[in-house]
Each structure stands twice: as C-alpha cells, then as structure tokens.
Amino acid sequence: MLGVPFDLVIFGGGGDLSCRKLIPAMYRAYREGHFVPESQLIITVRGQDELATVKDHILQKLIEFLKEGEYEVEAAQQFMTLVKPVVVDIAERNDSWESLRDVLSEDESRARVFYLAIPPAIFGLCCEQLDHFGLNHANSRVVVEKPLGYDAQSANELHSKMALYFDESQTFRIDHYLGKEPVQNLMALRFGNTLFEHLWDAKTIDHVQISISEEVGVEGRANFYDGAGAARDMVQNHILQLLCLVAMESPNKLNADDIRAEKVKVLKALRPIVGEDVDRHTVRGQYVAGSVGGKMVKGYLEELDANSTTETFVAVRTFIDNWRWAGVPFYLRTGKRLAKRCAEIMIQYKDVSHNVFPGNERLCPNRLVIRLQPEEQVQLHVMTKQLDCQDMVLKPVTLDLNLADTYDSNYSDAYKRLILDVAQNNAALFVHRDEATAAWEWIDPVIEYWREQGAPSLYRSGSWGPDASDRLLAEDGKSWFNAEQ
Ligand code: BG6
C-alpha cells in the first residue's frame, strides 16, 4: 500500500508543529518513496501576506529541523513542488473553502488526510466547515493531537463535537510516543516471542518502572504548560499509553479495534487514586534554578514570570487490579529539567527464590529495559559467572538487543510513520476515544486533589526530582533504576 498517492492538508501549515515535525516527516517519506510525487501537501495559511512567503519559510525551517545529512538540495526542491499553500479562513463560511476544494484531488478513492495543527478550541469548527463544504468524503480522515481537553468532561465535549462530522473510524488521535520504533518493538517482543510472554505477570515480575525524564524546561510554551502541568501533558497520554502496551493482554489480531480494546481494559483496571491516597501514592514537584548539562538554568516560576502551583514533575505508584498484574506496583515518573533526557520502561523480575551461590550476598534481579531515547535500546540484565575466577563469583551482564545496530535509528521518525498510517487507514497506533476518556477518568481525581493542596514540592534543576520521589519507592524497598546506574 505504501507509495499510493494521497492528499495531506495541514491546517496551520506554517506553524511550529507543522514546520518542526510534520513537514520534515513528509520530506523523509518523500525521499523514501512513500510520499509519491502525485501526492499533494496542502498547507493552509490565514491571509495573502502569509501565502506569499510561506514556501520560503517552510524551506528554511526544513533546513533547520532536518538532521545532519538529511537535507539534499535537489530532493528538497522536488519535494517543495508538492507543497501547495492555500488561504483558508477557518472561522468564516466564505470562498476560501472553495479554493481548498479546487486544489484537492477529485478522485474519491484517494485518501484525504486533514491534519489539524491548529488550536484545539477550533478543532470542532474546522470539522464543521469541512463537512459543510462537502470536503469530507468517504476516504477522508482527520488527525488531531493533544491537548485534547482538560479533563474527562471537556475532552468528551471536544470528541463529541468532532464526532458530529467525522466518524470515530475517520478520527486519528496522535500520541507521538506510539510512533516511536521501540514502542512498537515492545509489541513485537511481547507477542512475537514465547520467551517474554511466559514471564510476564505477577508470578515473575516484581515491579515495572516507566520513566520519561527531560532536560528541557518549558521554554517558549510556559503559558500553555502552566494551564496543563506534567500530569496532563505527559501522564494522561504518553505514560499511560506505554503502561497499556506493557500490561495489555495479547490482542486477537494486530488490528486497531483489537489492540485498542485491550488497552481500554488496562485503563479500566487501573486502581483509582482518590482523596488522601493521592498523598500516599503520588509526588508532584516544580523545578527551581539549577544546572542542567553544565549550564545554569532558571526555575519554573522565573521562566513563567508569575506565581504558580503547576507541577513540572510527577511520580506515581499504581496497581492494575486484574488477574495478571495483581499486587505488582507500576511506578510512573516524568519531569522537566531533570538530570538526563531519557525515556525507558524497566521491567524488574523477582529475586531468585533461593540463592545457592555462597559469597554472593544478593544476586541482581533480571531486568528487561526498553529504552526509547536518547538511544533506542532493548537490554536484558542477567547474572553470569565471572570469567577466570576460581570461585563461583557472579556478576551482572547486559545483553544488548541494540536496535540502532540493525537499522539507522537516526532517521526513524514517529510522525512520518503515523501520517503514513493515517493515509493507509491503519489506526492501530492511534488513541481511541474510549482510551482517552478512561485515562482522563483515572487522572482527574489526582489533579483535582492536588489543586486543593497548594504548592508542589520544589526540586533543583538537574536533579532527579523531589526527594519524596525516591522515598515513594524506598517505602517499598525499591529504587528508581537511574539511581543504580
Ligand atoms: C509532548 C509534550 O507531548 O512531548 C512536551 O507536550 C514534551 O512537553 C514532549 O517535551 C516530549 O516528547 P519527546 O518525543 O521529545 O520525548
């Protein structure tokens, strides 16, 4: 199916998301032959001034955001011939919509992908206009990305408004973490190998850690971020999606409906954290000034230039109340301005039931580490005998199932993969409305409780978050994986 022409319309095409992520992704797809020359990349802009300059702007941004070695003058020139800017006034019912119709292919068998890189407040309106002007044909799909609501209720209002014009089967909600190669590899590891699947439950697994740490602060997004905070920005979506992929049962088939149904079951089995349990099972923090990667950086409140109780760090202990996972703690953590940029899932197996090696006081437990970034890696930590040693001395070694050696991970691009999936009508890596709702319903009471509690704990930029985060695991006799490296 790859290599079939389609029309991609990016509303807000000259904006940051489009220039930073979407257009570079399509350039890569073009160079790999997946975005074929008969396709069109239609960019909507707001007025004639922008129309005159947007192609130059896009080209400059393309050069800026491509990785070293990716930009190639001739390829970029050819690619730019597929880019067609059009003025569309989303708020008005005027002729501008007709100019969009004029550019779109009339061939109804050809996929039409509307990517809404515009503020969520106008997602519904944009869908309504597309419907009103009859641009939503049977092969049309709409793509949106968070923030999709603020809580379960506002998210439902947004989904319901869009659903008036686009069916659920036409609606693709992006969580860019699902487009990352190692995340998909997690499914391959789990369901393509007997080895892991037989060792994937409360009988063998001691606990699971899912951690996304960032070195960056909130940068130019302080205003948006302050209304969201780490729980809405990262936990409700990326972290819970990763948790679902670790914890879900095998889908009957690898198709969107089956996978998403399994994920919803996990979300519904998450033990609610309500009232004072929020204090027991969660930690929230906000960074103050410190040093990250050898550079002094400002605190959150200085960046925001205002007072705020918004959290930039979250740690949670949670349980999945079902047969497979009964009693296994899942520790979730994310934060900005932490010591190191890293996203990983660490599955720790139980200690051996009886240690037969004298002199080896504690054997390191087996661990499966799936690292998404900075490098894409899968590692298995096992114990082996130390070589050239008369005694039976054991030491931990790491088996590297290194993805970067088998393909050029430098060029793997979540957005490219996801947009091509939309064009092929493959929703397996997109979030169903029911998943989004279940995730909000779980996180809402936590955020609500925090709101009544005032300021979060402070942590120094460049640290691993508030001390309370370490204590959360220490209470269970465990520690964050990074603390041991
Ligand atoms: C986004 C969040 O969804 O993910 C950002 O809004 C965050 O705050 C980003 O920085 C992290 O994505 P990645 O792919 O860089 O880990």
Pocket test for ligand 1, best of 233, 334, 340, 344 (most atoms within 8 A of CB): 233
Query: 């091509």: which residue's tokens?
Result: 420
Rg for the chain (alpha carbons), in Å?
24
> Which atom of ligand 1 lies at the shortest distance from residue 343's CA?
16
What does pTM read for this prediction? Answer: 0.94
The DSSP 8-state label assigned to residue 366 in this structure reads: P
For a pocket test of ligand 1, which of 238, 242, 415 has the largest count of ligand atoms closer than 8 A to its C-beta? 238
Query: Helix (H) and strand (E) counts for the chain?
Result: 19, 17
pLDDT at 484: 54
Residue intervals of the chain classified under CATH 3.40.50.720 are 7-145
Name residues contacting ligand 1 (CB within 6 A).
176, 214, 233, 343
What is the torsional sign of CA 246, 252, 255, 260?
Answer: negative
Measured in angstroms, how far is the CA atom of residue 238 from the centroid of ligand 1?
A: 9
Find all residues with CB under 8 Å of 456, minimum gap 6, and list them.
284, 285, 286, 309, 310, 311, 313, 450, 466
Which residue minimizes the CA distance to atom 9 of ligand 1?
234
What distance in angstroms lies between residue 201's CA and the mean position of ligand 1's atoms? 30
Helix/strand/coil for 318: strand
Output the CA 222–ligand 1 centroid distance in Å.
14
Whether 207 is a known active-site residue: answer no
- The closest-lying atom of ligand 1 relative to the alpha carbon of residue 212 is 16
- Residues 152 and 193: their CA atoms lie apart, in Å, by 37
285, 313 contact by CB (below 8 A): yes
pLDDT for the residue numbered 320: 98
Contact between residue 258 and residue 251 where contact means Cβ atoms under 8 Å apart: yes
Set 34, 159, 207, 238: catalytic member:
238
The residue whose CA is least distant from atom 14 of ligand 1 is: 177
Bridge partners for 207 per DSSP: 348
Query: Are the C-beta atoms of 16 and 24 separated by less than 8 Å?
Result: no
Ligand 1 atom nearest to CA at 221? 8
Task: Please give the chain's pLDDT, 485 residues, in tens.
Answer: 567 999 999 999 999 999 999 999 999 999 999 999 999 999 999 999 999 999 999 999 999 999 999 999 999 999 999 999 999 999 999 999 999 999 999 999 999 999 999 999 999 999 999 999 999 999 999 999 999 999 999 999 999 999 999 999 999 999 999 999 888 889 999 999 998 888 999 999 999 999 999 999 998 788 889 999 999 999 999 999 999 999 999 999 989 999 999 999 999 999 999 999 999 999 999 999 999 999 999 999 999 999 999 999 999 999 999 999 999 999 999 999 999 999 999 999 999 988 888 777 778 999 999 999 898 888 999 999 888 888 888 888 999 877 666 555 555 789 999 999 999 999 999 999 999 999 999 999 999 999 999 899 999 999 999 999 999 999 999 999 985 55
Residue ranges of the chain assigned to CATH 3.30.360.10 = 178-410+433-474
CATH class, 178-410+433-474 region? alpha beta
> Which pLDDT belongs to residue 151?
96
Does 3.40.50.720 match the CATH number of domain 7-145? yes
Q: Helix or strand or coil: residue 254?
A: coil
The Cβ-side half-sphere exposure at 15, using a 13 Å CA radius, reads 13
pLDDT tens digits, 23-32: 999 999 999 9
